Amino acid sequence: MKVVLFCGGFGMRMREYSEAVPKPMVPIGYRPILWHVMKYYAHYGYKDFVLCLGYKADVIKNYFRNYDECLSNDFVLSGGGKNLQLLSSDIHDWRITFVDTGLTSNIGQRLKAVEKHLQGEEVFLANYTDGLSDVNLHELTDIFLRSNRVACFVSVKPVASFHMITVDEDGLVKSIEHITKSGARINGGFFLFRREIFQYMKEGEELVEEPFRRLISEGQLLSYSHNKFWACMDTFKELQVLEDLYSRGKAPWAVWNGKH
């Protein structure tokens, strides 16, 4: 199965970073969040990636064209620095397709733009590339394949500090509750699709708007509830949380380390 990664957005809430680099290239530790997402999928055996590029596509292209394995792998240096022997490798068996999907395209348009690169793929995965999780991809994939549904996404509990309220027609508040206690769930940005998804999409539509509503009306959209770690990097505060977890060796999404 190929993995489609949406990498073309502007990342406006990360403006201080996104003016210099696209949001997927904002670093956590030695590597950008895009690498962490790809490393997660590679751990489960999915190493054929399709990158939907847009804003500052050159930064992403050049990063992988000039990839430095030494940053995150052990190596032996000898001969006064002339010889370098890698003891492990990150991306030697990855296949990455770089596709310009438009500067201002929405997610639906970006997915439609890479349809030709998914020929022969009956099922494929997709991700927003701004969220990290320890969701068990083997279990998720197995459930989706057995469901025979067209699409599936991981739903998670919101982590934002908001309060949900209910009001009557006069504006009087009837209840107020922290969103994490409300039972509400949100789209976590981890998707599985069958090729039939393209039959539900029309030109210019946002993926989770009209196409998903069509899927819902036909009983073809599945949600996989994940209640363990999930975090999204939308703000600097959220980036700092991820950085702190990584720096302390407590990154739950780093399933490739064998500690989770």
Q: Are 29 and 246 in contact (CB under 8 A)?
A: yes
Domain for residue 171, yes or no?
Answer: no
Q: Residue 260: its pLDDT value, please?
A: 46
Give pTM, 2 decimals. Answer: 0.89
Query: In terms of Cα–Cα distance, which of 177, 129, 184 is closest to 156?
Result: 184
126 contacts: CB under 8 Å, gap ≥ 6: 3, 4, 5, 6, 111, 191, 192, 193
Cβ atoms of 26 and 243 within 8 Å: the answer is: no
What six digits make up the tokens of 18? 């996104």
Instruction: Supply angle C-alpha 246, 188, 214, rounded to 5.
Output: 160
**236/33: higher pLDDT:** 33
Question: CATH number for the domain including 226?
Answer: 3.90.550.10
> How many domains would you assign to the chain?
1
Give the range among 44-48, 89-93, 216-220 with minimum mean pLDDT. Answer: 89-93
Residue 38 lies in a domain: yes
**Is residue 179 assigned to a domain?**
no
Q: Decide if 46 is inside a domain.
A: yes
Give burial (CB, 10 Å; 0-12/13-18/19+) of 229: middle
The pLDDT assigned to 176 comes to 84
Is residue 168 assigned to a domain? no
How far the first Cα of the chain sits from its last, in Å, is 24
Note whether residue 61 is domain-resident: yes
Confidence check: pLDDT of 178 > 80: no
Query: Would you state the pLDDT for residue 170?
Result: 83
pLDDT of the residue at 60: 96
Q: What's the pLDDT score for residue 114?
A: 97
185-215: burial string, b at 16+ Cβ within 10 Å, e else = ebebbbbbbbeebeebbeeebebbeebbebb
Which residues span the domain enclosing 189?
2-75+85-157+184-253
Let me know: does 185 contact 226? Beta carbons within 8 Å.
no
Phi, psi of 101, deg, nearest 5 = -110, 15
Asked if the structure places residue 164 within a domain, the reply is no
The mean pLDDT of the chain is 91
**Mean pLDDT computed over 200-217:** 95
Which of the two residues, 136 and 173, has the higher pLDDT score?
136
Classify residue 175: in a domain, yes or no: no
